Amino acid sequence: MTVLVVATGNPGKLKEMQSYLEGTPWQLQLKPPELDVEETGATFLENACLKASEIAKVTGEWAIADDSGLSVDALDGAPGIFSARYAEDDGARIDRLLMELGDRSDRGAQFVCAIAVANPQGEIVIQEEGIARGEILRDRQGSGGFGYDPIFYVPKVEKSYAEMTPEMKHQFSHRGLAFELVLPKLKLLEGD
């Protein structure tokens, strides 16, 4: 087993990432709690690379980081890299987004997940982005998931993220799409 330090203090995110890596020799562990990396990048990918590189250098281990969020077409890409800081909690973030979007008919949006992997020296060896297109609902639908899931609707399956089973969400989510791109590259690194 090779340790892959996840640039997060969130055990839920670690568990979700581990589910994508089942059957690989990578063993995920949380970053040290005292170690925080400031997200100063202008894009999701820049922030993921910053976090992976810094965590790898400090721990001397392989590191993986993701940065993700929601970009709404009619709001010029907002909330974008500020998705998690758009308001104080999930409910308030949804309320703010729905208020700012108002009655606009253009409700197109995309969830973006950027993933970066750094070697123990802090060099980025993998960087990929998964993008899931959808629409913003006018009201919440479903009780699963977290964040903006109750208002992000995927027309192809006629469900919001919050209405999907975990398996379905893996298939259609931005994080699932990003891991589809990352996994073959991680397999190539297994011998390193």
At 142, give phi and psi (nearest 5°).
Answer: 95, 165
The pLDDT tens digits of the residues spanning 73-128 come to: 999 999 999 998 999 999 999 999 999 999 999 999 999 999 999 999 999 999 99
What is the C-alpha separation between 141 and 117, in angstroms, rounded? Answer: 34
Catalytic site positions: 67
The pLDDT tens digits of the residues spanning 15-29 come to: 888 888 888 889 899
The count of domains in the chain is: 1
CATH number reported for the structural domain that contains residue 114 in this entry: 3.90.950.10
- Comparing 145 with 142, which gets the higher pLDDT? 142
Instruction: Give 21-25's long-range contacts (Cβ < 8 A, gap of 24+).
Output: 21/179, 21/183, 21/186, 24/183, 24/186, 24/187, 24/190, 25/1, 25/190
Name the residue range of residue 159's domain. 2-189
Per-residue b or e along 22-46, where b marks 16 or more CB atoms closer than 10 Å to that residue's CB: eebebebeebeeeeebebebeebbb
- Closest by CA to 176, choosing from 103, 112, 109, is 112
Q: pTM here? A: 0.91
What pLDDT is attached to residue 191?
Answer: 56
Tokens at residue 54, please? Answer: 């810094």
Q: What percent of the chain has pLDDT over 90?
A: 76
Residue 102 DSSP one-character state: T
Find residue 131's DSSP bridge partners.
112
Q: Map residue 168 onto helix, strand or coil.
A: helix
What pLDDT is attached to residue 192?
Answer: 55
